[in-house]
Amino acid sequence: MKRIFQLFVLGVSVLAAGQSYAAADVYTIDDVHSSLGFSVKHLMVSTTHGAFKEYAGTIAYDPVDPTAFKANVTIQAKSIDTDVQKRDDHLRGPDFFEVEKYPTITFTSKTLTGKDGVYTLLGDLTMHGVTKEISLPLTVTGPIKNPMGGDLIIGLEGQSTINRQDFGINWNKAFDNGGLAVGNDVTIRVALEAHRKSEAETAVPSAAPAATPEVTEAPTAEPLAVEPSASESVSASETVASEPPASEPAVSEPAAVQPPTAVEPEADAIEPEESVPAGDEPAEATQ
């Protein structure tokens, strides 16, 4: 009986944990209103500040049940920015982050303990190919209704210190007086604003029923004028060329005028007088 009771309590605990996690809302980090910064000593006397400009992540949070907290953040190592281009290029190179070989820095939460918005967050930080557990005191504000419109929002702020050499970032330069060019302790500062995902983003889409296609009558196509192809054009040209041109109406020439027929003289026509040869004329009579 005692064994059965223990199993019952265990089952209720597991069920309650599952229900509490299901009740946690999922928030997306708003990088426009957030910052992931750091600071480190320079020459042991001053502090250099920087930040990572490109990152993304999600946070599951239930203010009633901190055990439902989950956080996953990915940072682009090449986005490191200290406001000095030459220094940033040095930090991206083989002496420090080696961004070509290790392009991302990630953080995955493990546990969140505390109450009333004041917590201690434990999680795995992976940087420069090395994973270490870190502890981050964290304050969570909200959730509240976004006064600018939209869904719920929360705010998270925390600060912690890590040793960069724990992650294999060892470059330094020692001076005669015992000082170092760069400190080993790096202070991490987190200030995040996150917005709850809409139900449309978190819900698993169900298969929509197949829509019955609407049958519409195809419009009657007007006959298209078919232009003859090149070969057909040539054939037509040849046909036209082979046909004789239409004959023009013949113009009749005027009939030739026949000359009048010569009239034969009648038989009783008067014969012309015979001419008297010269010298034969009769001499006039001598008076």
Look up the CATH number of the domain holding residue 151: 2.40.128.110
Question: Does 45 reside within a domain?
Answer: yes
Checking 161-169 for CB contacts under 8 A at 24+ apart, the result is 161/185, 161/186, 161/187, 161/188, 162/125, 162/132, 162/134, 162/186, 162/188, 164/40, 166/130, 166/132, 167/125, 167/127, 167/128, 167/130, 167/132, 168/128, 168/129, 168/130, 169/96, 169/97, 169/127, 169/128
Beta bridge partners of 25: 61
Question: Does 159 reside within a domain?
Answer: yes
- Residue 80 CA to residue 92 CA, distance in Å, equals 8
**Confidence at residue 8, expressed as pLDDT on a 0 to 100 scale:** 52
Report how many domains make up the chain: 1
Contact 123, 158 (CB under 8 A): no
**Confidence at residue 201, expressed as pLDDT on a 0 to 100 scale:** 55
Q: How far is CA 45 from CA 40, 42, 49, 82, in A?
A: 10, 6, 13, 17
- Residue 171 CA to residue 95 CA, distance in Å, equals 6
Contact 179, 40 (CB under 8 A): no
Beta bridge partners of 145: 152
Question: Does 259 reside within a domain?
Answer: no
**Confidence at residue 162, expressed as pLDDT on a 0 to 100 scale:** 98
Q: Which of 185, 177, 154, 176 is nearest to 60 (CA)?
A: 154
**Confidence at residue 233, expressed as pLDDT on a 0 to 100 scale:** 45
pTM score, two decimals? 0.63
Question: Does 140 reside within a domain?
Answer: yes
Question: Does 162 reside within a domain?
Answer: yes
Question: Does 3 reside within a domain?
Answer: no
| DSSP letter assigned to residue 180 | B
Question: Does 243 reside within a domain?
Answer: no
Residue 189, classed as helix, strand or coil, is strand
Q: State the residue range of the domain holding 43.
A: 16-200
Q: How far is CA 275 from CA 262, 266, 279, 284, in A?
A: 26, 22, 12, 18
Residues 6+ apart with CB under 8 A from 168: 128, 129, 130
**Which segments of the chain have a pLDDT < 70?**
1-22, 198-287
